[in-house]
Every structure is written in structure tokens, then in C-alpha cells.
Structure 1
């Protein structure tokens, strides 16, 4: 029996590990039409203008400080300045937080948004805003929208359209972290962890597996229609996804042993390995790869926290940016770095910073965007946007632009109403 494990690889704040299992066994119900199912899905999915562009969504889970990352404010009063100092960049007059010496040398390939506002200072509410463009309600995430538009798997390579490595969302409290919502479980991310990679290796002949694939028709239209919770439809889609993964390029894409050792060394372990994997997944046909780094909820000792997390981001992201430009992938792969909010501009009594939705920062690279610049400006103490306000909807519109998703894209909800995926967002001015 073939088994593929789906689910976030890490624990949540309560130490709970959520795992879902998919088993492709001996389905034997005959006389049902797989082609009818595939045809109906093909007719329902709008076609993206470009199937070869990808997004790598680097999520700094917990809410990164905007001051110690990309907006240091060293001329502000002492209690507002970056506690890690600053480092000069290749852009005249532009500095980054003191932990980002490598990135400072790559700023001609990066764009920084210093006027990003999120309408919440709550972890999961902020996650919803940034990942869906909307307040928490039954809305699909950007990755799930991409999967719905393009299909769950790349037509040529079999790669999953949407892959997630690491947790997005602070805990399991309401509202739940963003997902496919009513688009259906087939458009949830593929989340490889542990045994999943080993289980991508065939234990049987390809011809036998192809025969088994034809038996997916056992989940017929009638059964799906009577399954109000969407469980059967989800299993059907994930079975097909698992087979496409194993028969396609996924095993090779996840295998860093096939990468140039010098490149592996440049990226490093941990986050670096995830970012290198993300690049390989995009090259193999993934459309949206989310990578998450935990540990950004720095209510105390922000200097110590940044000295731990900052160098990881600095090394991994600088290697990624250099890599995609050297390989000529900068027109095809967009990197977005964000979190659910910024941090309070004034240092608190615990030498940390608390939640702050009124101002955050973004970093972007590649995607054919106009880089080597700073977009927008914050107030003198990094409290609010001063010029060039950017909203989650604007970020969403920018990603749509890169992926070739029409801004007027809409899908029918379970009641049959067409729901637009984007309301009033516009691509970030100056970037496109």
C-alpha cells in the first residue's frame, strides 16, 4: 500500500501535532467515469495567463519587527531605534537592520515596502488579512486560489501547484489559519514532512500504479454530492495528487543531494535548505511555495531574538536572491517576505516589542518587478505609513499580476454565488 502523509511538520503553541493520512489502497468499484470528473474540473477552472511563474512566500510567523528588519529608524529617539543597529546597503541612503549584512549587498535585487498596514494586531486575524486579503471569514488563501486557477497539479510535471513547508498561523484558536475554504480540500497545500518524502519512491511497477490510478473513479459524482462535508471530494483529489507527485518530478525536486554541493553550502541548513527546496520546486512546476520560519513573537529581548532569527533570514534569503538572478529565474519566481503584523515602535519594559498592525514592512524580489528601491515611507518613529500606503489587497493584486491571475477572477461559493477573489486592491505602484 502506498501512503503519503500530509500536514504541517511542526507543533503548535500547545504542543499539538496535527496529521492527516492518505492511503491509496485497492479501490475496486468499476463502471464509473474518471474522465467525466476530470472534464468537469477542467471546465470549472479559469486558465492562468502564465503557467510558468511561481511565488515563494516566506512567512515570518509570529509577527516580525519592522524596525529591526527593514526600517531601522536610527535618527528617532533611543527607545524607538533599532536595537541591532543598522547596516548600509547598495542603495544610497537606505539601511537595513544590523543582522542583514548579506542582504544589504543584494538590495539592487530587492524592493522594500515600508508602508504596509494590516487592519489587526492579533496573530491569526493578521494571518488571514495577509494571506487572503480579507478579514477572517470563509476566504481561500493565495496559495489555494493559485491551485484552483491552475489545477492542483502541473499538467506537464505532476508537481503540486501549492506546497507549504512549515506552519502559517500562530495557534489553533479561532479564527483558524487560512486554507482553501469553500474551494474544497483538493486545493489545500501539499505539506511534505518526514515519511512523505520517503513514500514518494515507488514500491511497485509504474504500470501497476497507473492501473490503480484508473480506479480513482470509484468516488463517483453521486457520492460526492451526498457528502456535505466535502470529505470524499477531498480524498479523491488528494489520491490523484499523490499519484501525480510520485509519477512526476516531486521526488527529484525534494532531493537536495541532486543539487550542486557548493549551492547547498551557500544556503546552509534549516531555513536555507527550505529556501533551496522552494527554488527547486518552482523550477519543477510548483506555482506557490510557502515557507515558514517560527519565532518572531518577540515580546521580550528583541535583540536576542533578532540575533537568533535575523542571521538565518539573512543567509537563506541572500542565497536565494543571488541564485534566482544567476539562473535567470528572476522573471519567473517572485519572493515575498511578510508576517502577520509589525511590532510596537517603542521598546517595552521587557526590552521587546508587542503586536502592531498599523505598520509593517514587506520585502520582494524577482517576479519581473522593478526592484532596487524602497516603496512608501513610514513616520519618523515608525508608527504609521506616511506615504504610499499598501494594503493586503494591494499585495494580493501584485501576486495576481505576477502569476497571471485575472484581477476579476471569481468562484462560486457553495450557495452558487460568484465570489470575487479581489475587491479593490491594485498592484503596488512602482513595482509593476
Structure 2
């Protein structure tokens, strides 16, 4: 069902749109200071009850497409060519089993839930990225956003939880589907770029640039930029440059903020906490499995620090689950044990800090894997059915929504779409899914084309 039907009357139609002129800005960088954070900020107070919510979201993006059979929907009774190499383990919740290589996750099953009947129709990596982050199919180039990501929507509608931090952060950098499209550069994610997996101290480049400038020089540069922009604004009749100036001034505020520095200071965490998540002090860059697996554990920890400090939505790149060849070896010796440790640590950490009630955690990838094991001991791309883990916020733990058939090939009952998950994310944040925007061609586009929150989990 497509919602948000608009009146045929042009005047009435345009007055019904909630448009934000700042969403269409093409803001430039802070050239004089050598910074780009200003491009990612917006400076607007939003009225209404939705904007007053202090909820956050962490998206654990399992790029590549995790196998439903080897994670949250094992098929221990299926023939070997479908079952694969692993078995199932009973969880702490009677009747719920997950793959036997995730005992820590099974132990805390009462704190998180599973969706087993997700599906869509596109088997391309970037196309799947677009569908799951935006709710819309990809354009001609699936690596480029035609529609804004859920993080950009949250940034535009809700703004900042705290002015010292950006509303939308990507760890460490953008993937297809995470961009702001027609909402403009002000609602792109702030990319950490620095990777928490490195054995060197985790330091953001933007903060390092500011630290290299004395207070007097920093103030002079800020004043110089302000004066230069005022000159440009005087020549601009549209008023757009004035808005760009606000983004730039706010960027300086964030980069000189102690709160922002502390939020991103991963090295301030106790070593015991980092080890609980799965910290590996050194890693071999020639071993991509180890590098990636060690990376996502510390990226999850940084995500917890950011939502605790006041970031609305954090997306964590947890790649690379593309298990075409020797998939069972990769899962057994790399990803599953480390995912088990890091994911269980994140859920328990949020719970112990009192953050799980306000933080919705969604763990999923762009699709699942083929039900039949291929000749290379792996599985291929498969969007016809896949699973996701979801916890926190309004979601009750220890539940399963939907099911797949005996071979894990298609939804068996209660099929769900990525749009249903996005509707759940938006409801938790307080985003208006009926709001319309004008795309680059001037067409009205609704925030979410369809989808209903997962009421079974609430």
C-alpha cells in the first residue's frame, strides 16, 4: 500500500509539503580551515513531540549479505547440501535456536530478537544497500543514492540530540545507500575515516587539524572565515550562503568541543571493555578476514560511545560477509566467533548502561545467501529470504518474527520487507514517514513508500 496521496490542486499540493530549503543546499567546505565537517551539518530547531525524543539507532551493517543458515535461522534437519557445516544451539529462550558458533548470543537471547522472513527481489550488493537504507529501489547507478538514507532523513527531520555532535555518523566511511541524495550535503553522514581497528591511537583527522592550531590562530581563522562569508552573503540574494555560514560556524563549534572529542576518544575506554568487545591490538593488513573481524568489534564500541554522547543514528560497517568461496571456513575461523563476542558485548553494554531502552540496534545485510551450498563450499547472493537481529528501544527480547521454509529458501509465514524494518526505525526515532520532499526533478517523494512497524516485537 502506497501512502501519502496528494491533492490535484497545485496550490493545495505545495502547501501540504513539509519542505526545508536548507535540505537543497550544496554547501562548500571550510576551505580556509582545511575542514569539511561543515558540509555535514544542519542548524535548525524542529518543533513538535517527535523532535523531543532522545532515542538513537545503531545499524550494524553486515555488508556482503550474511547467510541466514549460518546465523539466525539454521536448518539442522535439512539435507546436508542445504544445512551446511554447522549445527544449531538452544538459546536461553525455549524454542529459539541459532547457529552453534554463537553461544554468547544464545545466552542473552532474552535481550534481542530475530526476523526470519525478510525478502526483496534484487541480488546486487549496491542495489540491496539502497533498498535497505532508503526503502526505495536503486537508480541507474546503484552505488549512488537517488533517495536519502534513513540517517539523512533523521538528520533533516530531527536535527541534533546535542549541538556538540553530528546527528548522523558513519563508521568508518560511507557505503552505497548511506548518502543524503536530494536532502543536500548538510544531511550526509559524518565519516570517521579513521578506523578503530588500527593499533595506533584512534584519532579523527578533523580534530587533529584543529589541535595543530593555537587558540588564537583558530579564533582568527574562524573570524576571517566569518568575514569572508559575510562578504559572499552580501552578494547572494537567495540567502543560501547565509545558511551555509551557519553550517560552517557550527562545524567550528563541534571541532572545538570537549564533548565531541571525548565521544570519539576510543582510547579512553578501559582495556577490559575493549577486550570484552574483542579488541585485537595488532592486525595483519594482508589478512582481510582478521582485519575486518577485528575492525567491527571496536567499531561497535565506538558506536556505543557515540549514542551515549548524543548521536541520533550511527551506521557501523561490519563487512565482509560475501561468502561465495570457502564460506564455512571464513565463518568458523573469522566472523562468527568475533561477531558472537562483539554483538553480545554491545547488547550487554547498552543494557548495563541503561541505554538499551532508548537505543534500537538493527543488525542486517543487503540480502541472504542461497539455500543450496555451491561447489566452492559457499553460498551465493539471495534476496528471496534473509534474517536480521534486532534489539533495544521498543523491541522485546526473546522473540522471532516470521519463518522460512524447511530449506531456508522462501518465507513460510508472516513475510516482512526491509520497509517494515525502516518503519520500526522511524517510529522509534519519531520520524514522520508521511512527510514529502521534492527530489532533484521537483517531484514529490514520500519519506517511506510503504511498510509497517514490527508490532509483533513490541
1:342 pairs with 336, 357, 368, which one?
368
Q: Please tell me whether the aligned partners of residues 172 and 193 of structure 2 are also in contact (alpha carbons under 8 angstroms).
A: no
Paired position in structure 2 for 1:110: 112
Report the secondary structure of 1:430's partner residue.
helix
CA shift, 1:209, in A, is 6.5
SS of alignment partner, residue 115 of structure 1: strand
What is the deviation of 1:245? 2.2
Give per-residue Cα distances to partners, 1:20-60, cap 9 Å, x unaligned: x9545279xxxxxxxxx98xx63889873444111110001
Q: Is 1:62 paired with 2:64?
A: yes
Q: Which moved more, 1:295-304 or 1:91-100?
A: 91-100
Query: Residue 283 of structure 1: CA displacement?
Result: 1.2
How many residue pairs were aligned? 389
User: What is the TM-score when the length of structure 2 is the normalising length?
Assistant: 0.78
SS in 2 for 1:349: coil
Aligned partners of 1:221 and 1:366: how far apart in 2? 49
Deviations along 1:290-335, one digit per CA (max 9) or x if unpaired, are: 0012221111111112121112211111100001111111111111
Q: Counterpart of 1:68 in 2: which secondary structure?
A: coil
Q: Is the 8 A contact 2:174 2:191 kept in 1?
A: no
Structure 1: stretches of 5+ with no match in the other structure? 1-20, 28-36, 170-175
Q: Tell me the distance in 1 between the aligned counterparts of 2:111 and 2:400.
A: 11
TM-score (structure 1 length as normaliser): 0.82
Question: How big is the shift at 1:342?
Answer: 0.2
Q: Which structure 2 segments of 5+ residues have no match?
A: 1-27, 35-40, 140-145, 195-204, 280-294
* Aligned match for 1:239, one of 218, 229, 248: 248
Q: How does 1:179-190 map to 2 (within 5 A)?
A: 179-190=179-190
Provide the rounded CA distance (Å) in 2 between the counterparts of 1:399 and 1:377.
Answer: 21
Partner of 1:10 in structure 2? Answer: none
Pick closer, same or farther for the CA change 1:425–1:148 going to 2, 3 Å: same
C-alpha root-mean-square deviation of aligned residues, in Å? 2.9
Whether 1:158 aligns to 2:150 is: no
| CA–CA distance in structure 2, aligned partners of residues 350 and 357 of structure 1 | 20
CA distance in 1 between partners of 2:232 and 2:339 (Å)? 44
Partner residue, 1:304:
329
Q: How does 1:397-412 map to 2 (within 5 A)?
A: 397-412=423-438
Q: Measure, in 2, the Cα distance between the counterparts of 1:94 and 1:240.
A: 51
Q: 1:359 to 1:26 in 2, by over 3 A?
A: closer
| Moved beyond 6 Å, runs of 4+ | 43-47, 232-235
Contact 1:60 1:337 in 2 (8 A): yes
Residues of 1 paired with 2:256 and 2:247: CA distance? 14
The structure-2 alpha-carbon separation of the partners of 1:283 and 1:178, relative to structure 1 and needing over 3 Å to count, comes to closer
Structure 1 residue aligned with 2:157: 149
Are the structure 2 counterparts of residues 421 and 208 from structure 1 closer, same or farther at C-alpha, using a change threshold of 3 Å? same
**1:29-44 equivalent positions in 2, closer than 5 A:** 42=44
